[in-house]
Amino acid sequence: MTAKIIDTRAIGLDVSLTFAKWLTGTENLHYGDWTGLDVCAANLGAAQEAYTDRLFTYLPKEPCRILDIGGGSGVTAGKLIALGHHVEIVIPSAFLAERCRANAPDAVVHEMMFEDFQSDATFDICLFSESFQYIPLSDGMPKCLTLLAPEGRIVIADCFRSEGFRADPVRATVGGGHGVVRFRKAVADLQLDVISEVDVTSVVAPSVDIEQGLFNIVGHAIERVDQELVAKRPKSRWLMDRVLRLFINTRKRTRLKQRLMEQSRNRDSFAANNTYLMMVLTQPRK
């Protein structure tokens, strides 16, 4: 009998969405737009709403067909449908597909990789809202060109690694995404026109501070338990430490400590190593 693999990703998403809903009242996991807001957990919901409002300015006001690629928990799709748009979602995660069906019951949900998606219909908008970085650069935009209507557009809101970024072999650097230089070359190679582009790095970066604050709370709790074990159960604590070292390598332990105990993942580090863009691309005219 084959042992079932524990889906730690689904567990993490479940916990994250539950926490987000408890804190903000909705299952948003995306960055916030902190323009004019004090950076604190109480304003996270307002910042995320402001982010969505900004994103929607890049979309047509009249009803259209939107392909939401990597639609998260379906909250954004639900808002788009409420505005009159027809929305189809492509999402590879079974857990997130379930949340999309709950939060956007009128959307068509395709539970699959974007690379495998096929459609007889065409779309006015291919939307990547913090999902572009998870799709190979060689697949994302070229695939969209096979799905867009003649006047269709690609809308991207996502993080890119800044020019000159160099990854640390041990410690994690906050942020991620395709290299912005490689991305711009791909856009040029496909002869796409950039009709709108705004660098919003500075207004979304404070979201990292909120996330880090949450991890530090968890880290503090773990540290307090560890202190009690050292003082009152030293042999048990020593054994636990030996077991953890057997299953978690130095790199992973370093990154876990960095995330839970430090504040190196902050808005300044994010802005120094990443470029967050909101942009609209149009396909080349035939």
Rounded (5°) CA angle 276-122-96: 55
Predicted pLDDT of residue 225: 83
pLDDT of 241 reads: 81
- What was the pLDDT predicted at 12? 63
Helix, strand, coil share (%) of the chain residues, nearest 5: 50, 20, 35
Distance CA 264, CA 170 (A): 14
Q: What are the angstrom distances between the C-alpha of 283 and each of 21, 143, 201?
A: 37, 12, 26
Q: What is the mean pLDDT of each run of 10 residues along the chain (286 residues)?
A: 56 70 79 95 94 96 96 94 98 91 96 94 96 94 95 96 89 91 96 96 95 84 84 86 82 82 88 96 80
The answer to whether the beta carbons of residues 175 and 161 sit under 8 Å apart is yes
Structure tokens belonging to residue 149? 């209507």
Q: Among 103, 96, 98, which Cα is nearest to 87's?
A: 103
What the block records as the tokens of 25 is 């009242």
Name the amino acid, one letter, at 276.
Answer: Y
The answer to whether residues 129 and 72 touch, using CB atoms and an 8 Å cutoff, is yes
- Which helix (H) or strand (E) is 85 found in, with range? none
Name the token pair of 74. 């379906």
Q: In the Cβ-directed half-sphere of 51, how many Cα atoms lie within 13 Å? A: 30
pLDDT at 189: 95
Cα distances (Å, whole numbers) of residue 77 to 44, 55, 82, 269: 20, 12, 9, 31
Q: What is the pLDDT of residue 229?
A: 84
Question: CA–CA separation, 71 vs 67, rounded Å?
Answer: 9
pLDDT at 2: 54
Q: How distant, in Å, are the alpha carbons of 31, 39, 60, 77, 278 from that of 52? A: 9, 17, 14, 11, 11
3-state per-residue secondary structure call for 203-242: HHCHHHHHHHHHHHHHHHHHHHHHHHHHHHCHHHHHHHHH
pTM: 0.87
State the Cα–Cα distance between residues 143 and 141, nearest whole angstrom: 5
